[in-house]
Amino acid sequence: MPQDGTQAAGAAGQQPRITLVDVSLRDGSHAVGHQFTSDQVARVAAALDRARVPVFEVSHGDGLGGSSLQYGFSREPDMEWLRAAVQNAPNTRVSVLLLPGIGTRRELRQAVELGATVARIATHCTEADIAPQHIALAREMGMTVCGFLMMAHMLPPAELARQARIMEDAGAHVVYVVDSAGALLVEEARERVQALRDALQCEVGFHGHNNLGLGVANTIAALEAGATWLDGSLCGLGAGAGNTQLEVLAAVLDRMGIDTGVDVYGAMDAAEEVVKPILPRPIVIDRDALVIGYAGVYSSFLLHARRAAERFGVEARDILMELGRRRTVGGQEDQIIQVAYELAQRSGARTGP
């Protein structure tokens, strides 16, 4: 097995090891408006460590450096969150997310100095060619590196595999199919993971959202197609209708006889006793979250759309459907205000605060 902790794909006679990754403290940042405190991060990190979750991710919802007017200001710097996480999880590997153009190499180096050992370099699914320098740097610093192809429903499987090869060639140990909109149907998730598995030598991961209620089902389909890194979050805490619910996924995998090393009871307790009390609202598939999956819109747009809907006196689902028609992607949050304004103009609704 490679020293970085990943497992070579297709090793003869070996059962692939499944790595569960919790994203409550990164994707969950979207759901709380990036208002985590270091104390909350510390408590969640300690609970994940007790539950023997092998990897969890900490950063602004849009990755290192994401705290901004465009994406939403964090209550505290994400380096403070990272410090709290590492100090309270001595047995668990801590990951950070970086989107080239938002996060920088300087912030990646700071994360390593604070104890992060996994880097996930994320791009839109058509833009893998902007990731190689960050992937290479993370490898130079000894990190396990994951390429993260967001909004994967927007590319057919063969095209997605071509993008994935760019990340593998740059040095990624794992490349992810990322269902950022929670828009993939079960067979669509399976096909995309299978395409990557057929095209790559490195490991393949899957990151799901639950906007169509398919988070666990899609993740199991991804597993069956060859994915060995699987994401989830406690209580499903994440953008939109949340991520694949980690404690549920751990229980399902245990029922399937798949050893993930996770303490299922510990994951249940972490969700119920630590994460649930800090939820600003229940993570459910309500009308707006469902529209995100139905329209294929970036899950993190949900809170932005709700705020714009209130400001301009229009419906959030109308904003989201129009964003879907325009095929907007992460980084185009400014379009949310533009669409809300245009809808208000058409309907005669108010156009100011």
- As annotated, the active-site residues are 30
CA distances in angstroms from 20 to 42, 55, 265, 268, listed in the order given: 20, 7, 15, 15
Radius of gyration for the alpha carbons in the chain, expressed in angstroms and rounded = 19
CA distances in angstroms from 98 to 31, 57, 64, 318, 337, listed in the order given: 19, 11, 5, 31, 25
For 279, half-sphere exposure in the C-beta direction (CA atoms, 13 angstrom radius) is 22
53: left (phi over 0), alpha (psi -120 to 50) or beta: beta
Closest listed residue to residue 239, CA positions, set 71, 33, 59, 63:
33
Using CA atoms in the order 198, 199, 202, 205, what is the torsion angle rounded to 10 degrees?
Answer: -70
Q: What is the token pair recorded at 293?
A: 């999956």
Q: What is the token pair recorded at 286?
A: 């309500």
Q: Which helix (H) or strand (E) holds 106?
A: helix 105-114
Q: What is the token pair recorded at 87?
A: 């100090």
Q: What is the token pair recorded at 68?
A: 């901004």
Closest listed residue to residue 333, CA positions, set 307, 311, 295:
307
3-state helix, strand, coil in the chain (%, to 5): 45, 15, 40
Closest listed residue to residue 274, CA positions, set 13, 25, 71, 75:
25
